[in-house]
Amino acid sequence: MTEDDTTDEISDIEARIEALAAVAERCRKFILASKIAIGGGGTLLLITILGLLGTGQTAALGSIALVLGGIVSLGSNVSTLRQTDDAISVAEARRSALISRIDLRVVADAPMKLV
């Protein structure tokens, strides 16, 4: 493998890492929204059970659906986030291995010019 091929592969890996980082960030946002949905649904269910706002059965069913939907979304996104973090780790290890194979040259120190 030539140095140009290695450099191209490193660039491809860095692009993949950036794409995976975007996926991970999106998962984190969905995880936060899921936690908010679970908390909001639980609060609404408690309010409905206690009869504080005079809400009916529809609100109770809606709050249960909100809690269940939040739990499903949370589980799915946590799993996806773990897989994405693992993929990022593998890609970063591959990138480090490729970088270590490149024959890096030291650039001679040039006298500094004061501007």
Q: What share of the chain is helix, strand, coil (3-state, %, to 5)?
A: 80, 0, 20
The per-residue pLDDT for 69 is 96
pTM of the entire structure?
0.76
Token pair in block for residue 105 = 């040259």
The pLDDT tens digits for 41-81 are 999 989 888 887 767 788 889 999 999 999 999 999 999 99
In the chain, what percentage of residues exceed pLDDT 90?
61
For 9, how many CA atoms within 13 A lie in the half-sphere containing its CB? Answer: 16
What distance in Å separates the CA atoms of residue 98 and residue 90, rounded to the nearest whole number?
A: 12
In the chain, what percentage of residues exceed pLDDT 70?
90
